[in-house]
Structure 1
Amino acid sequence: MTTAPAVWRFDAIGTRWEIQTAAALPDEARDAASAVIERFDREWSRFRPDSFVSTLAGGSGEVTVPAPADTAAMLDAYAELSEATGGAVSPLVGAALAHRGYDAAYSLVDRGPLAATGDWRQRLSWDAGTLTLREPGIIDVGALGKGRLVDLVTSCLHRSDDGGIVVDAGGDVSVRGVTERIGLEHPYDPSRAIGVWEVTDAALCASAVNRRAWGDGLHHVLDARTGQPVRTVAATWAVAPTAMRADAVATALFFAGGEALAARWGASWVRMATDGQVEWSPGCGAELFRAAR
């Protein structure tokens, strides 16, 4: 933005939000965005007892709830994400995360790995009106859910004639109507960046093992097939037309198959391994401060 933007900061869904606009948002716009966030959290959070996800998780057999508006968009994307990574990414990874200590109570008590059994698509089904879980499990949409919410908030607030908007939810950033230079935070030193990426009318999402980490090497990026945290990748960044797809690609890049999914979806990416090696996609527009080894 060429002039100093108005900035709205707040906390929601466990992360810090910062929304930049050319002029201060009126109260009704803030209320509308807050309502979008509240609705999404009430439907998809596994950390609140009144959510649809908690209702599904609380059953001992088959449980059905009204399908939230975002069901098909997110779970259809999960089907592609899961197929690309050979089942490493699953929306039913919530039970494995809870077993490792990242549960609704934030106990951070590790009870060991919990591997997924069978194809999650045989256990979880959805149509235009319902979302059904056929056996006990916990949905966790963390692989792309925050990106989806960033898209919804951006859509709620942005008009083509309002001078542009930047929505940043803890590193998932949507840019519309302006150009933004975004630093790529070093996963082992938050005071440093490994590069910058200039983003226009697109979204950049990041994921790193230093975020939501606890215990002895435990963090939020688990392989659903084994219940074990990823050990070889430290951080990923992806740029795509939507934040949901950028978020999904940033997750997929922790596993084999992520590069192919990014190419299919038209996303660019940067990835840093735990040994410090940096690699990037062909034609990537990021300006990196170090070369790959």
Structure 2
Amino acid sequence: EDALVWNGTEISASVPVVLDIGAAGKGQLVDLLASVLRGAGTTEFLVDASGDMLHSGAEPLGVGLEHPYDPTQAIGVVELHDGALCASAANRRAWGDGLHHVLDGATGFPIETVVATWTMATTAMEADALATALFMVDPKVLEREFEFSWLMVYSDGHAAYSAGFEGTLFS
């Protein structure tokens, strides 16, 4: 018997469950706040929800990319202009050596190959979900369905990025 049943717009559970909407929920909140600001006539703003942000304005904003092993350092910078930038990293929501919140659905264990991702998209909800998805899905697969740019940092120290991810990585 399934503990969780999803039927259209309804979810029911036969046992206590925890639903974590973190892979897109914070991004959706950023988009909702931006909508309130736009509705009030504000055209220049930055909504920053600790790594998930949306910028609106005439001038781009330089944003540092947090080092995945040292939050006091940056590994690079990207210019955010009229769009969203979201990040996901293994050093956030970690509770022990090698134990963090991004799990491999097939094994149930934390993903060890990717340590940090950044995505830029039109909406923060989409960028937020894609930043998490990059831990598990080849970016080429996601690029067939979504318009976004991305940067990935791996546990062996190398980085990969899309042609559209315009930023500077420090050496």
State if a TM-score over 0.5 links the two structures.
Answer: yes
**Whole-Å separation in 2 of the counterparts to 1:148 and 1:225:** 27
TM-score where L is the length of structure 2: 0.88
Which residue number in structure 2 is paired with residue 154 of structure 1?
A: 34
Measured after TM superposition, the shift of residue 256 of structure 1 is: 2.8
Are the counterparts in 1 of residues 65 and 74 from structure 2 also a CA contact under 8 Å?
Answer: yes
Q: How does 1:171-182 map to 2 (within 5 A)?
A: 171-178=51-58, 179-182=60-63
Q: Deviations over 1:91-132 (max 9, x none)?
A: xxxxxxxxxxxxxxxxxxxxxxxxxxxxx8xx32333xxx22
- Structure scoring higher RCO (CA < 8 A, sep ≥ 6) equals 2
Q: Deviations over 1:30-85 (max 9, x none)?
A: xxxxxxxxxxxxxxxxxxxxxxxxxxxxxx988xxxxxxxxxxxxxxxxxxxxxxx
Which residue number in structure 1 is paired with residue 7 of structure 2?
A: 125
Query: Which SS does the other structure have where 2:152 is aligned?
Result: strand
Measured after TM superposition, the shift of residue 234 of structure 1 is: 0.7
Identity of aligned residues (%): 48
Look up the equivalent residue of 1:267 and give its one-letter code: F
**Whole-Å separation in 2 of the counterparts to 1:200 and 1:209:** 26
Which residue number in structure 2 is paired with residue 69 of structure 1?
A: none
1:167 pairs with one of 17, 28, 47: 47
Measured after TM superposition, the shift of residue 224 of structure 1 is: 2.4
The runs of at least 4 aligned residues of structure 1 exceeding 4 Å deviation read none
Structure 2 residue 96 is matched with structure 1 residue 215: yes
Rg larger for: 1
Measured after TM superposition, the shift of residue 177 of structure 1 is: 2.1
Are the counterparts in 1 of residues 121 and 147 from structure 2 also a CA contact under 8 Å?
Answer: yes
Measured after TM superposition, the shift of residue 143 of structure 1 is: 0.9
Query: Which SS does the other structure have where 1:223 is aligned?
Result: coil
**Whole-Å separation in 2 of the counterparts to 1:266 and 1:208:** 21
Are the counterparts in 1 of residues 37 and 43 from structure 2 also a CA contact under 8 Å?
Answer: no
Measured after TM superposition, the shift of residue 261 of structure 1 is: 1.3
Look up the equivalent residue of 2:111 and give its one-letter code: V
Which residue number in structure 1 is paired with residue 105 of structure 2?
A: 224
Are the counterparts in 2 of residues 175 and 202 from structure 1 also a CA contact under 8 Å?
Answer: yes
Query: Which SS does the other structure have where 1:170 is aligned?
Result: coil
Greater strand content: 2
1:203 pairs with one of 84, 102, 112: 84
Residues 225 and 252 (structure 1 numbering): CA distance in 2 closer, same or farther, change over 3 Å?
A: same
The two structures, once aligned, show a CA RMSD in angstroms of 2.2
Greater helix content: 1
Residues 194 and 256 (structure 1 numbering): CA distance in 2 closer, same or farther, change over 3 Å?
A: same
Aligned length: 169
Query: Which SS does the other structure have where 2:72 is aligned?
Result: strand
Look up the equivalent residue of 1:225 and give its one-letter code: A
Look up the equivalent residue of 2:27 and give its one-letter code: G
Unaligned runs of 5+ in 1: 1-59, 63-119
Unaligned runs of 5+ in 2: none
Structure 2 residue 24 is matched with structure 1 residue 144: yes
Q: Deviations over 1:229-276 (max 9, x none)?
A: 010111000000000000011001101334421452110000000111
Which residue number in structure 2 is paired with residue 66 of structure 1?
A: none
Query: Which SS does the other structure have where 1:183 is aligned?
Result: strand
Query: Which SS does the other structure have where 2:75 is aligned?
Result: strand
Which residue number in structure 1 is paired with residue 132 of structure 2?
A: 251
**Whole-Å separation in 2 of the counterparts to 1:190 and 1:132:** 38
Which residue number in structure 2 is paired with residue 283 of structure 1?
A: 164
